[in-house]
Chains A and B, each alone.
Chain A
Amino acid sequence: DAGVTQSPTHLIKTRGQQVTLRCSPKSGHDTVSWYQQALGQGPQFIFQYYEEEERQRGNFPDRFSGHQFPNYSSELNVNALLLGDSALYLCASSLLTSGSYNEQFFGPGTRLTVL
């Protein structure tokens, strides 16, 4: 049973460019969340997708957008990259069940460096 997978592992971009990161959730999961983790900090919630729609969003600008496909996989897009966007981007998947706790499983992340 494959866990959460992310691609690419590492990415180097320059300021102003655009980037797309990809995530495949754990088998059986239907919800994907994206987090940004800067060095020495905890993961910061970007947004969450369920049924191909953005359900919740953290405090991130519109430059950050996403998509979820019918097979539950997801993409994170960042436009007009800034130096401050350099971070580890984590994808986490879970199964949405109202009123109960659902553990989320994290992927290995994509390390984005903006020069």
Chain B
Amino acid sequence: KQEVTQIPAALSVPEGENLVLNCSFTDSAIYNLQWFRQDPGKGLTSLLLIQSSQREQTSGRLNASLDKSSGRSTLYIAASQPGDSATYLCAVKLWLGTYKYIFGTGTRLKVLA
């Protein structure tokens, strides 16, 4: 059974720090992996999508990497800002008779001004 784990569950950092969020999955036969951001009480905003054939994707201050063999993805946030405070979720898409998304439990990030 595919499990998606995110560590740490919560993180508090001072503004300006570079930080790394981790996502681990148990089954390497994924189709792709997506990072989302969720603000309190709100829906999800897609940040980066990495296809299984790719190693990384970049968007602005965000960089996501994917290592299928080790079942890991990292989201790197450079020069963090208070506006980055949110919960970050990773989701893997895999084939289970049909395509399904499995979401991690998230990392709650707080960037202090």
Are A and B part of the same complex?
no
- Name B's A-contacting residues (CB within 8 A): none
- Name A's B-contacting residues (CB within 8 A): none
